[in-house]
Chains A and B, each alone.
Chain A
């Protein structure tokens, strides 16, 4: 597969955009191995079994500067594997990747990165403040600078007041927030987040979402993985869909999802019995309960006709033209992948 060169292109606003994260034929094959040390061709193994699992297959992906890129896919699709490869937590079986034009493992590139792993678990004997200062130290920040940033970040992720508590006493949402704070301690250009919203309540998810949007405002690139599609849909400029270790689709949401309206959803109250019965035969779906009824139709003419029937004592509760959602697109892709 030819390696796409590092490219720069003009966006609508005229700003040049550079590729900040690029993978070229990135492949990872897992085997059950207790030692698992690799030096190029020399491999130290302690393998009870020969069975292999292809976690990621020839991934070619490019994330542009300043965008929010979502890597989506069901569990076991290879999302975490991709991010772990980029962070050099694991090493690729084949292929390579570049971050800010530098090869993996480059110190300078790493110092421009922030990373939040999935379900983070941190040193529970440290307090929130100690933890952030320790990580600041790993970036080589001076004492005063890391204290300043730690305090500012604690404020930003809403942990002000919990900074002297040991992480042992943090709830899952608080851990996720302190995890996000540690990913930002170096004021990174690229923020890589693995399932930042999983396991959080709706409020927690919204908070994380707001922070991600803020990061884009600040001009940072956010590359995250998720299986929560509704969040991804709200956030992402572009998405990539992984399934079974292969990239199924990549692009802007507006390009991937068809713009046309798929169906109209009408909810009305007090609609005459006869009308309901008539549409039970004609509409896509009709759901009726004691006093209200929901009718889903495919065409605009049908929708207009139903709306015209709502008079004399009947009231329109809601009218909702629905476009294809990311979830529907996703399911179609995954099904297609599973069949083909």
Chain B
């Protein structure tokens, strides 16, 4: 296990020293911080819109990191022939694949954590600088006096401090009122990305970065629309499997839907169910998500190892 860990740490180090990661992360943070601006643009359910936007941003940027950082990881080792020195060491090839996987996952999780922190911060910032909060600040002033520049800055500074403190508190699973429903949702996003990362490593183990990127995004899209594909087959079936084309379409779609992961498990509950009333039973939902993610990514990694284990490196 020490060797898997060594490769994982090195993979993490490679990703952390990669410029693409920072560009993606900065974009995500800017988006998250400005998600509050949506407040000015929406009339109702502002809270819901902001949360959906933030959670969506975390999920999409997590995917982008998996794609852009992940796809090249195995391929580069083959392309630059660093794999030659790795396989000549007393390690097994499965250890290499697992190390790459966990290294990439570690990178993604650290980034999700950073994004989640900024997201929570943005949410609390909304609360602490809301009109109600500002009104309260006014009310505290002696009658007739207006808020001076300096005390307004003080008010904002306090908001920053309080938001940061609350964000950190929420992050370590002590949800405050504003974000009570969010940590499990972020966790589900993390589980979804565990599956996507396994696919990224699998594709990267036998194809070029561009092809891997396309395949990974494809898998993500099919995974997210898996239930819709099943619904589509129902429609075909209801209309009757008359022509050969219908039969091909029906079985083709069935096949794709059953082989591809069902990522809706992790998603359908995120934005709207997290905010639903009454709330979802998180425990059961999460337990199912954990089992599904472990089983599915385990299966994909076994496949990646089978491809990689007896592969000739040119």
Residues on A lying within 8 angstroms of B by beta carbon are 30, 33-39, 44, 84, 87-91, 107-108, 110-111, 113, 115-117, 119-123, 125-126, 130, 134-135, 137-140, 179, 182
Contacts and interface: CB of A to CB of B under 8 A. Distances in A.
A296 B88 CA distance: 49
Interface of B: 2-3, 6-7, 10, 13-14, 17-18, 80-91, 206-207, 306-307, 309-314
B2 A90 contact: no
Contacts of B314: 30, 36, 90
A125 B13 contact: yes
Given A89-B83, A125-B17, A137-B3, A110 B90 contact: yes
Given A37-B307, A90-B312, A90-B313, A117 B3 contact: no
B6 A87 contact: no
B81 A117 contact: yes
B302 to A, nearest CB: 14
B140 to A, nearest CB: 53
Given A38-B312, A121-B80, A137-B2, A88 B87 contact: yes
Contacts of A182: 85
Nearest to B14: A125
Contacts of B80: 121
Contacts of B311: 35-37
Contacts of A35: 206, 307, 311
A111 B311 CA distance: 21
A121 B87 CA distance: 15
Contacts, number: 93
Given A122-B82, A134-B6, A89 B307 contact: no
Given A123-B10, A135-B89, A140-B2, A91 B310 contact: yes
Give me the 9 closest cross-chain CB pairs, A-B, nearest first.
Answer: A137-B6, A115-B88, A110-B90, A125-B17, A117-B84, A90-B312, A138-B89, A87-B88, A111-B90
A187 to B, nearest CB: 13
A110 B88 contact: yes
Given A37-B307, A91-B312, A121-B82, A110 B17 contact: no
A39 B313 CA distance: 15
A84 B84 CA distance: 8
Contacts of B88: 87-89, 110, 113, 115, 117
B90 A139 contact: yes
A130 to B, nearest CB: 8
Nearest to A88: B87
26 contacts: A33-B312, A34-B206, A37-B307, A37-B311, A84-B84, A87-B87, A89-B87, A90-B312, A91-B310, A91-B312, A107-B90, A115-B88, A116-B85, A117-B88, A120-B84, A121-B81, A126-B13, A130-B13, A134-B6, A135-B89, A137-B6, A138-B3, A138-B91, A139-B89, A139-B90, A182-B85
Given A36-B312, A110-B90, A137-B2, 17 more contacts: A36-B314, A38-B310, A44-B307, A87-B84, A89-B84, A89-B87, A90-B312, A110-B88, A113-B88, A116-B85, A121-B80, A125-B18, A134-B10, A138-B7, A138-B86, A138-B89, A139-B90
Contact of A123 (B3, B82, B84): B82
Nearest to B311: A37
Nearest to B96: A138
B214 to A, nearest CB: 16
Contacts of B7: 138
A126 B13 CA distance: 8
Contacts of A130: 13
A138 B206 CA distance: 24
Contacts of B6: 134, 137-138
Nearest to A39: B310
Nearest to B79: A121
A37 B310 contact: yes
A119 B84 CA distance: 11
Contacts of A110: 88-90
B212 to A, nearest CB: 13
A123 B77 CA distance: 9
Nearest to B18: A125
A35 B202 CA distance: 12
A84 B88 CA distance: 9
Contacts of A90: 312-314
Contacts of B13: 125-126, 130
